[in-house]
Amino acid sequence: MTRLFRIELIKIRTNAAFWVLASLHIGIILLVILSGKMFLRSISLNGESITNLIDPSAIPLYQFPDIWHNVTYVAAYLKFILAIYMIISITNEISFDTLRQNIMNGLSRIDFIVSKYFLILLLSFGSAVFVLVTALVTGLTSTPEFEAHDLIKYSGFIPAYFLLLTAYLVFAFLIGLLIKRTGLAMGLMFLYTLIIEPVIVFRIKTDWIKGLFPLKAINNLIHMPFGKYALREVQDYVAVKDIAIVAVYLILFTWFIYLLLRRRDL
């Protein structure tokens, strides 16, 4: 098992695309969080006309316990950067013929899937740890005073974020394997994520059916938190039902991936 993990480590260690996209992913997360913080500070310092309407310091965006929910929700938008790397990693194996060569060398198809799942777990785990540390540091420096239970409340969004990334990257794995060509696979992933599924979901009226679509289901792991600052009711917890739907999709995606590899001539 560890040998499969080592194989993926050798592949990414000196791979420029990996380091560029991983840095971009965490760099942008950091940028979004810091710029939001600076924006809040600037309006509380200069924008008197705005502060008359709402007091920014009254919005605890960066304070425990809200920060867990807010940061993971925003960071989840940047999952696509890791998905780009995932697609490159899969389509490269096909276009370089290394998948075929590896199987000829004695890697089974299941070994291949497991090794790529290690990569997915590494990406998701790395990102989740980064978000955890960022949220912790930002929360500690932004919260005037808090108690232990404030720190822990909502921190369940970190494992939810990890699951969300994992599911989306497995989805990217499937798309890459299905389409085989890097550009085409990325195009389809964006088209489906940004247009096809949102349009279909938009036309459906019933909420629970909306939640059955794969990306909607994945995104439902972390609901939008900001409504509560306008006194709207939001789901500020990770629902077991949402986890279950994503788990079913994970199994389905894996099964499709296995079937594709099983049936296809390489």
Partner 1 sequence: MVTTDGLTKFYGRIRAVDHLTFSIPEKSVFGILGPNGSGKTTTLGMLLDVIHPTSGTYSWFGNPPDKKNLQKIGSILETPAFYPYLSAVDNLRIIAEIKSSGHENINEVLKITGIYDRRHSAYRTFSLGMKQRLALAATMLSNPLVMILDEPTNGLDPRGIAEIRDLIRRIAAEGKTIILASHLLDEVQKVCTHFSVLNKGQLMYTGMVNESREEQYIEISADDMQKLLDVLVKFPDHLGIENKGAVVVMTLPGTIPVSEVSRFLFNQGVLPTHLVSQKKSLEAQFLEILKEEK
| Interface with partner 1 (CB under 8 A) | 3, 6-7, 10-11, 13-17, 92, 96-98, 100-108, 111, 263, 265-266
Using CA atoms, how far apart are residues 165 and 77, in angstroms rounded to an integer?
10
Residue with Cβ nearer partner 1 (63 or 102): 102
Residue with Cβ nearer partner 1 (66 or 93): 93
Look at residue 20 and give its three-state secondary structure.
Answer: helix
Residue with Cβ nearer partner 1 (79 or 116): 116
Least separation in angstroms between residue 177's CB and partner 1 is: 15
Least separation in angstroms between residue 260's CB and partner 1 is: 13
**Residue written as token pair 């349009």:** 199
How would you class 45 by CB atoms within 10 Å of its CB: exposed for 0-12, middle for 13-18, buried for 19 or more? exposed
Least separation in angstroms between residue 266's CB and partner 1 is: 4
Using CA atoms, how far apart are residues 149 and 137, in angstroms rounded to an integer?
17
Nearest to 215 by CA among 254, 172, 177: 172
Give the other-Cβ count within 10 Å of 31's Cβ: 10
Least separation in angstroms between residue 97's CB and partner 1 is: 4
Residue with Cβ nearer partner 1 (78 or 84): 84
Using CA atoms, how far apart are residues 245 and 166, in angstroms rounded to an integer?
14
Residue with Cβ nearer partner 1 (41 or 100): 100
Using CA atoms, how far apart are residues 99 and 93, in angstroms rounded to an integer?
5
Angle at 92 between CA 89 and CA 98, to 5 degrees: 110
Least separation in angstroms between residue 115's CB and partner 1 is: 10
